[in-house]
Homo-oligomer: A and B are copies of this chain.
Amino acid sequence: MSEAVISAFNWVPDFAKGLVRDLRIRWACEEIGKSYTTHLLNAREPRDEEYRKWQPFGQVPAFEENGLRLFESGAILLYLGDEDERLLPGDAEARWAATSWLIAGLNSIEPLAQRAVTYDVFHADKDWSKDARASIDELIRSRLAGLSEALDDKEWLAGSFSVADIVMVTVLRILRHCDLLDEYPNLAAYKARGEARPAFQRALAAQLADFEDQPTTPA
């Protein structure tokens, strides 16, 4: 057994700190007490060819354990869940509900949350960004309303805590720059419940520490 390796950045712009997706894998590892080391990359420099063989788009996280290499946070979480029922229940109904919600987070909610932050923050100074943002307003609210209704008063999305919640809580965190979540009190409480888990806190501290260790030279 070789120790797990997670790729991450040693520098990102301030608005991305605490949001980079290696957080999801650190969180999952903390939930099950799996130790890992990090393979740190400089976000300001192009990734080399060797890393692109591991992660074809040069993104983080990528993951390696016992010679097995994976990329994409969703795939790595499914792999970790396959190994440990604390992350993905063995019971078929709960397992496939959690898988459905994990994919929903990645494909039906994250792309819209990402567009919101792109328009609101990244392109805030462009004259087209307000119209572009307005064009997704109805859709993003309809997705959050659907999520809110499905979550209802449940603690987690698919029975016990699972990788689906790791995805969805970190996806909802992308909206921290705006007050959209205030309109869905059960979603705000759900996000806070995820963030209050000791494993999340340790994962977040570890991600931020990897930024702190680096000299803060300008981009």
Q: Contact: B75 with A100, CB < 8 Å? A: yes
Asked if A104 CB lies within 8 Å of chain B CBs, one says: yes
Q: Are B103 and A106 in contact (CB under 8 A)?
A: yes
Q: CA of A57 to CA of B149 in the docked complex: distance in angstroms? A: 10
Interface centre among A103, A110, A126, A127 (most CB of B within 10 A): A103
Cα distance A69–B101 in the bound complex, in angstroms: 12
Query: How many copies make up the complex?
Result: 2
A71 at the interface (CB under 8 A from B): yes
Q: How far is the CB of A202 from chain B (nearest CB, A)?
A: 25
Would A135 and B123 be within 8 Å (CB), given that A52-B146, A56-B149, A96-B79 are in contact? yes
The 8 A CB mask of A113-125 against B (1 = contact, 0 = none) is: 0110010000100
A73 to B108, CA, bound (A): 11
- Measured CB to CB, the nearest residue on chain B to A47 is B146
Question: Which bucket holds chain A's interface residue count?
Answer: 35 or more
CA distance A99 to B59 in the complex (A): 17
Query: Cβ of A52: which chain B residues have Cβ within 8 Å of it?
Result: 146, 149-150
Q: A79-B96, A128-B132 are in contact. Are A57 and B103 (CB under 8 A)?
A: no
Min C-beta distance of A1 to chain B, whole Å: 14
Chain B nearest CB, measured from A182 CB (Å) = 21
- A97→B57 CA distance, assembly (Å): 15
The answer on a CB contact under 8 Å between A72 and B93 is no
B-chain residues with CB within 8 Å of residue A79 when the two chains form the complex: 96, 99
Residue of B nearest to A114 (CB): B111
20 contacts between A and B (CB under 8 A): A57-B104, A58-B146, A68-B93, A69-B96, A69-B97, A70-B99, A70-B100, A72-B103, A74-B103, A74-B106, A74-B107, A75-B104, A78-B78, A79-B99, A106-B107, A107-B107, A111-B111, A115-B115, A128-B132, A129-B132
Binding site for B on A (CB under 8 A): 52, 56-59, 68-75, 78-79, 92-93, 96-97, 99-100, 102-104, 106-108, 110-111, 114-115, 118, 123, 126-129, 131-132, 135, 142-143, 146-147, 149-150
